Amino acid sequence: MKKLKIVFALLLLIPLMVELAGCDMYDTSSDESFMLSIQSDQDVGITVTGVGEVEVIPDIALVNIGVQVLMKSLSEAQQQAAQSMADVMNVLENRSIAEEDIQTARYDIQPVWEWTNGENIFIGYRVISVVNVKIRDMDAIGDIIDDAVSAGGEYIVINGITFSIDNPEEYYEEARLEAMDKAKENAIQLAQSAGVKVGKPISIYESSYYSIEKPGGQYAESDGRVPTSISAGQLTVSVTVQVVYTIA
């Protein structure tokens, strides 16, 4: 019986010994890979940055148009907001703005209270209905705003206008090529000053953006004689690349 117990105990120890041996092997290989990664990070190279920029005239305008109604009765406020917003939507439809270019941005119903002489007085209900409108006819922006203001009357709200690019990718490609060319020029200049030659790029990092033009000022109902004038200006599409070249 004692011999059987000893043999059984040894059999139980064998997997544990193998597991411990495996751990030692894993730790060793891990150390080797860690050393290799350090050596790889210490490889000599040339790191440079290049920036490419393209000036673009915006081809779409994004306008926030809506109505805001305050009345004692909630149902009356809702009805007036719905009617005024329907009038604004008719203007947009008559201006051939596609349905997919109009998106509901906000619809709020808020009770309004006012603190007067130490007492909280109920004023009424405020109903706000707003849509985001994408205008593609850049020459008609001012006229569309004027028509919307006339349709919405005293309830109209124009929260702002921004200019953008409907398809910026083609401009990103142009800016990206310029950024890579400038990065290569910078690498060659550094290599020449150090008496070496530029090899192949081994790492490229890119960041890109384009500025959104936001005209200043506020928009209000005109007197019917002077139309609203809107200037889109220009946008800047920018791409920055960081490139690591080997030393040939």
Q: Cα–Cα distance between 70 and 57 in angstroms, integer?
A: 40
Domains of the chain: 42-59+166-248 (3.30.110.170), 60-164 (3.30.70.2970)
* pLDDT tens by residue, the chain, 248 residues: 444 443 444 444 444 444 444 444 334 333 333 222 223 344 569 999 999 999 999 999 999 999 999 999 999 999 999 999 999 999 999 999 999 999 999 999 999 999 998 899 999 999 999 999 999 999 999 999 999 999 999 999 998 899 999 999 999 999 999 999 999 999 999 999 999 999 999 999 999 887 765 554 334 444 444 678 888 888 999 999 999 999 98
Angle 9-15-21 from CA coordinates, rounded to 5°:
125
Query: Residue 97 — φ and ψ, nearest 5°?
Result: -85, 125
Strands 102-116 and 45-56, by their bridges, are unpaired
CA angle 11, 16, 19 (to 5 degrees): 135
Beta strand ranges found along the chain (DSSP E): 45-56, 60-71, 102-116, 119-135, 156-164, 198-210, 235-247
pTM: 0.68
